[in-house]
C-alpha cells in the first residue's frame, strides 16, 4: 500500500490473487515498485507471517511491477527459476534492471563437515520483466549460519553487481575480469558501498577501493553488526552501534561517524 507522505491519505492498495508478497524482495525505482509474490495461497494463512522459502517458492512465484503513483500492475511474470532457493531471497533495482539473489545447498562433499552452498543471481529487464541472465556463483562456502554465509546481499555500483567474492556486469551477467574480492577475517557483516568503495566487516570495519582493489582497515577497537550497518551517506561513513550482545570481545560499543581525511 502507499500513502501520501504530506497528507497521510492512502493512494492505493495492492491485493494479490495468489500468495503473500516476500518482504525482502520489495524495491523501488524510476516510478515503479518491484517484488516477488508467492503462488502458494496457503502462505496467506501463516499466523506469524514466518514462511519458509520452500513454501513461498516451491509452488511457483511471480515477479511483479506496480506503478508507484497508482498501484496499477504494469506487468506480472512467472519466475520458475527461483524454486531452487532455500535460505534467503533479496531483490535490488538499478538502471532499469531487477536483480534477484538467494542461496541454495548443493551436493555434500564427504570431506566437508557441512553442506556446501551457492548463490544464484537472476537479472530481469525492468521495462518488460523478461529475463536477462542467470548465474550460479562458483564460490560461496559452507552453510552453518555462524557468520552469515547464507545472508550476503549484493551491492550495485554503476553498471556492476558486486557480491562476495565475484562481480558481474548488470545488463549482461558477464563476470568482471580480474575482480576477485577476498574479505578475510570473519564475514558476518553484509557489504554496503559508496560510488567508490565497499564497506564490510573483516573482523574489524574495512573498506575496499573499487578501482584498485586496495583494502584498508578503518579501526580495530570495534566491529560492525551482523547485517548492513556501515552506511556511506552525506560525505560521512556512519556506523550505528549494532554489536551489543555479541560474544566478540571488542572494547568499544558505540555509534561512530567517520569523515574523509
Separation between Cα atoms, residue 125 and residue 259, nearest integer Å:
37
Separation between Cα atoms, residue 95 and residue 124, nearest integer Å:
11
* Of the candidates 148, 154, 187, the residue with the CA atom closest to the CA atom of residue 173: 154
Predicted local distance difference test score (pLDDT) of residue 139: 65
Q: Are 40 and 56 in contact (CB under 8 A)?
A: yes
pTM of the predicted structure, to 2 decimals: 0.90
Separation between Cα atoms, residue 49 and residue 250, nearest integer Å:
35
Q: How far is CA 168 from CA 29, 45, 163, 210, in A?
A: 20, 38, 8, 13
Separation between Cα atoms, residue 151 and residue 90, nearest integer Å:
9
Three-class DSSP category at 99: strand
Question: Which cell is 189 given?
Answer: 557483516
DSSP-derived secondary structure for 142-197: B-SSSS-TTT---EEETTEEE-SS-EEETTT--B-TT------S---S--EE-SSE
Residue 79 CB-half CA count within 13 A: 31
pLDDT tens track of the chain, all 261 residues?
A: 999 999 999 999 998 878 999 999 999 999 999 999 999 999 999 888 889 999 999 999 999 999 999 999 999 999 999 999 988 999 999 999 999 999 888 866 666 666 678 889 999 999 999 999 999 987 656 665 566 777 888 999 999 999 988 999 999 999 999 888 888 776 677 899 999 999 998 888 999 999 999 999 998 888 888 888 899 999 999 999 988 877 777 778 899 999 988
Predicted local distance difference test score (pLDDT) of residue 255: 93
Predicted local distance difference test score (pLDDT) of residue 109: 60
Question: Which cell is 96 given?
Answer: 532499469
Predicted local distance difference test score (pLDDT) of residue 104: 87
Amino acid at each position: 500500500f502507499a500513502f501520501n507522505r504530506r497528507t497521510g491519505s492512502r493512494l492505493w492498495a495492492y491485493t494479490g490473487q495468489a500468495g503473500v508478497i516476500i518482504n525482502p524482495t520489495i524495491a523501488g525505482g524510476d516510478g515503479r515498485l518491484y517484488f516477488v509474490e508467492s503462488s502458494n495461497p496457503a502462505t496467506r494463512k501463516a499466523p506469524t507471517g514466518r514462511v519458509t522459502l520452500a513454501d513461498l517458492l516451491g509452488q511457483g512465484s511471480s515477479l511483479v511491477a506496480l506503478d508507484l503513483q497508482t498501484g496499477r500492475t504494469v506487468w506480472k511474470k512467472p519466475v520458475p527459476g527461483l524454486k531452487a532457493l532455500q535460505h534467503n531471497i533479496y531483490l535490488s533495482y538499478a538502471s532499469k534492471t531487477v536483480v534477484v539473489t538467494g542461496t541454495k545447498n548443493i551436493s555434500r562433499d564427504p570431506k566437508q563437515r557441512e553442506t556446501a552452498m551457492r548463490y544464484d543471481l537472476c537479472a530481469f529487464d525492468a521495462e518488460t520483466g523478461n529475463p536477462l541472465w542467470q548465474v550460479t556463483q562458483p564460490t560461496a562456502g559452507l552453510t552453518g549460519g555462524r557468520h552469515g554465509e547464507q545472508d550476503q546481499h549484493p551491492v550495485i555500483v554503476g553498471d556492476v553487481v558486486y557480491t562476495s567474492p565475484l562481480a558481474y556486469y548488470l545488463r549482461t551477467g558477464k563476470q568482471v575480469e580480474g575482480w576477485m574480492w577476498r574479505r578475510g577475517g570473519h564475514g558476518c557483516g553484509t557489504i554496503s558501498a559508496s560510488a567508490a568503495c565497499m564497506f564490510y566487516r573483516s573482523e574489524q570495519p574495512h573498506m575496499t577501493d573499487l578501482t584498485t582493489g586496495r583494502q584498508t582497515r578503518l579501526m580495530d577497537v570495534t566491529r560492525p553488526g551482523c547485517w548492513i550497518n556501515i552506511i556511506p551517506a552525506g560525505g560521512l561513513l556512519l556506523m550505528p552501534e549494532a554489536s551489543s550482545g555479541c560474544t566478540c570481545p571488542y572494547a568499544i560499543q558505540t555509534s561512530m561517524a567517520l569523515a574523509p581525511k
